């Protein structure tokens, strides 16, 4: 039996938490032979902590063989202690009519303190994945606090967007979902994100040779993927939760699977023309468990370049807006 890994999850009693924790404890995230200790962190609010007790009871009641312990806390120094993975979900969701960036002032400050505590107490091999919106910029804020952990340990989730894009392409082409490959997300987790359809394949053919309606690809396809979160809020009355939790399972599972190629938001370092200091979605290849290299070989056409410039502009504006939160 492997040594258990410690997985800290913030916002553990929230909507996403309720879909996520059971998947982690079942082995879906780290594999069927990897035991886990869940370190569940909630806001210091009586209602949230009470709800967390109920979630922990349900985890017990599942009798998951891989679940070797549960910590419940409102203290980040306890919750992130020795954590190998820190899954930062806890943050306000947006409501109808809001953009994710509208959450920035409220949510951004959560990631200052959490970034500092993670840097101080998490395991030496800690990896951090940010889901709370606006995810890219919150991730940048958390990473900026770290003096010990390198910036490439901090990733933000754009996998939900990748999954959405894959699903939309499969529907349009009338093929099974598994026929669609190499669709990657560039930029911000916002309507400006760019799903780079020109590099995708469908049954081994360029997606643009199978879906020849380029007006659809450049217009409704990009728009549907970019605005899917808002469409779900309009229909459900609250933001995506099960699909977000599923995407985080995919994000981490791909990051611990050498050879996996997938989209994550990372410090751009100027790749693909992004400002060097923003966290932007791009394709990566997992090298060793938890580590990755950015794939830089994709060539962008003029349309792609204009989309990347627009999403980069938004990321740079978000960065300027939170300048006082960055170390
Ligand atoms: P929710 O309101 O149901 O749950 C959030 C939980 O976080 C609450 O229980 C709250 O008490 C807790 N929380 C707040 N501040 C905290 C703190 N400082 N420390 C620990 N816990 C804290 O919201 P949700 O639906 O679970 O969504 C969570 C976040 O994820 C939102 O910001 C949402 O917009 C975002 N989200 C991102 C994606 C993505 O693709 N990146 C997808 C879906 C949702
Ligand atoms: C999503 O894309 O579903 C999430 O980011 C939630 C939201 O606010 O849209």
pTM higher than 0.95: yes
Confidence label for 32 from pLDDT (cuts 50, 70 and 90): very high
Task: Please give the helix or strand (H or E) that residue 216 lies within, else none.
Answer: helix 214-216
DSSP 171-201: HHHT--GGGEE---EEB-SSTT-EE-GGG-E
Residues with Cβ within 8 Å of residue 57, at least 6 apart in sequence: none
Nearest CA to ligand 1 atom 9: 14
Percent of the chain, pLDDT > 90? Answer: 96
| CA of 65 relative to ligand 2 center, distance in Å | 32
Regarding the beta carbon of 131 and ligand 1, being less than 6 Å apart is answered yes
Confidence label for 327 from pLDDT (cuts 50, 70 and 90): confident
Question: Residue 202, SS3?
Answer: strand
Query: Is pLDDT above 90 for 205?
Result: yes
Regarding the beta carbon of 35 and ligand 2, being less than 6 Å apart is answered no
Query: Is pLDDT above 90 for 184?
Result: yes
Residues 218-256 as b/e (b if ≥16 CB within 10 A, e otherwise) read eeebbebbbebbbebbeeeeebbbebbbbbbbbbbbbbb
What is the set of domains in the chain, with CATH numbers? 5-156 (3.40.50.720), 159-322 (3.90.110.10)
Query: Is pLDDT above 90 for 101?
Result: no
Average pLDDT, the chain: 97
- Residue 271 has a pLDDT of 98
Regarding the beta carbon of 12 and ligand 1, being less than 6 Å apart is answered no
- Residue 95 has a pLDDT of 83
- Residue 307 has a pLDDT of 98
Regarding the beta carbon of 239 and ligand 2, being less than 6 Å apart is answered yes
Query: Is pLDDT above 90 for 96?
Result: no
DSSP 55-105: HHHHHHHHT-TTEEEEEEES-HHHHTTT-SEEEE--SPPP-TT--GGGGHH
Query: Is pLDDT above 90 for 130?
Result: yes
Nearest CA to ligand 2 atom 5: 229
Q: Are 35 and 66 in contact (CB under 8 A)?
A: yes
Regarding the beta carbon of 188 and ligand 2, being less than 6 Å apart is answered no
Q: Which residue has the higher pLDDT, 101 or 249?
A: 249
Atom of ligand 1 at shortest distance to CA of 100? 34
Asked if omega into 134 is within 30° of 0 (cis), the reply is yes
Confidence label for 261 from pLDDT (cuts 50, 70 and 90): very high
Distance CA 58, CA 199 (A): 43
Regarding the beta carbon of 167 and ligand 1, being less than 6 Å apart is answered no
- Residue 209 has a pLDDT of 98
Query: Is pLDDT above 90 for 114?
Result: yes
- Residue 78 has a pLDDT of 98
Confidence label for 220 from pLDDT (cuts 50, 70 and 90): very high
Q: Name the residue of 229, 238, 244, 281 whose CB sits within 8 Å of the most ligand 2 atoms, as the mutation to test its pocket.
A: 229
Atom of ligand 1 at shortest distance to CA of 94? 34
Confidence label for 92 from pLDDT (cuts 50, 70 and 90): very high
| CA of 292 relative to ligand 2 center, distance in Å | 25
- Residue 97 has a pLDDT of 86
- Residue 89 has a pLDDT of 98
Q: Which of 189, 199, 251, 262 is labelled catalytic?
A: 189
Confidence label for 323 from pLDDT (cuts 50, 70 and 90): very high
Please give the structure tokens belonging to residue 222.
């990009």
For the chain, the first-to-last Cα distance in angstroms comes to 41
Q: Are 327 and 145 in contact (CB under 8 A)?
A: yes
Mean pLDDT of 85-102: 92
Instruction: List the one residue out of 105, 74, 99, 82 whose CA is nearest residue 10.
Output: 74
Regarding the beta carbon of 136 and ligand 1, being less than 6 Å apart is answered no
Regarding the beta carbon of 13 and ligand 1, being less than 6 Å apart is answered yes
- Residue 99 has a pLDDT of 86
Please give the structure tokens belonging to residue 236.
């459900």
Ligand at shortest distance from the CA of 244: 1
Please give the structure tokens belonging to residue 94.
């947006």
Atom of ligand 1 at shortest distance to CA of 14? 4
Strand ranges (E), the chain: 5-10, 36-41, 67-73, 85-88, 127-130, 154-156, 180-181, 185-186, 194-195, 201-202, 205-206, 261-267, 279-286, 292-294
Distance CA 167, CA 163 (A): 6
> How far is CA 320 from each of CA 110, 112, 115, 251, 325, rounded to the nearest angstrom?
18, 16, 19, 27, 10
Q: Which residue has the tokens 């709370």?
A: 132
Ligand at shortest distance from the CA of 44: 1
Per the DSSP assignment, residues forming a β-bridge with 263 are 283
DSSP conformational letter for 238: S
Confidence label for 74 from pLDDT (cuts 50, 70 and 90): very high
- Residue 1 has a pLDDT of 83
Query: Is pLDDT above 90 for 311?
Result: yes
| CA of 113 relative to ligand 1 center, distance in Å | 16
Cβ atoms within 10 A of the Cβ of 35, count? Answer: 18
Phi-psi region of 165 (alpha: psi -120 to 50; beta: other; left: phi over 0): alpha
Q: Is 189 a catalytic residue?
A: yes
Residue 153, CB half-sphere, CA atoms under 13 Å: how many? 25
């Amino acid at each position: 039996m492997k040594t258990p890994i410690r997985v800290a999850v913030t916002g553990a009693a929230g909507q996403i938490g309720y879909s996520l924790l059971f998947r982690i404890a079942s082995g879906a995230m780290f594999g069927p032979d990897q035991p886990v200790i869940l370190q569940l962190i909630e806001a210091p609010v009586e209602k949230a902590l009470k709800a967390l007790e109920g979630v922990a009871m349900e985890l017990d009641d599942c009798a998951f063989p891989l679940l070797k312990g549960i910590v419940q806390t409102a203290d980040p120094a306890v919750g992130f202690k020795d954590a190998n993975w820190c899954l930062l979900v806890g943050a306000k969701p947006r409501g109808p009519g809001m953009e994710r960036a509208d959450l920035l002032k409220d949510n951004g400050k959560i990631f200052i303190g959490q970034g500092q505590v993670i840097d101080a107490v998490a395991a030496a091999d800690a990896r951090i994945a940010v889901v709370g919106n606006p995810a890219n910029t919150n991730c940048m804020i958390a990473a900026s606090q770290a003096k010990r952990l390198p910036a490439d340990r901090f990733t933000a989730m754009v996998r939900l967007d990748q999954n959405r894009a894959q699903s939309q392409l499969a529907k349009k082409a009338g093929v099974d979902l598994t026929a669609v490959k190499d669709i990657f997300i560039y930029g911000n987790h916002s309507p400006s994100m760019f799903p780079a359809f020109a590099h995708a394949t469908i049954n081994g053919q360029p997606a643009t040779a199978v879906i020849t309606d380029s007006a659809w690809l450049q217009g409704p396809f990009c728009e549907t993927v970019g605005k899917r979160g808002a469409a779900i809020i309009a229909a459900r009355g609250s933001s995506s939760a099960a699909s977000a939790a599923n995407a985080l399972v995919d994000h981490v599972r791909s990051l611990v699977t050498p050879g996996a190629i997938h989209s994550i938001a990372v410090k751009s370092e100027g790749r693909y023309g992004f400002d060097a200091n923003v966290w932007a979605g791009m394709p990566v290849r997992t090298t060793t468990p938890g580590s990755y290299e950015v794939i830089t070989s994709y060539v962008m056409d003029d349309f792609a370049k204009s989309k990347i410039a627009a999403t980069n502009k938004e990321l740079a504006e978000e960065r300027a807006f939170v300048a006082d939160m960055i170390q």
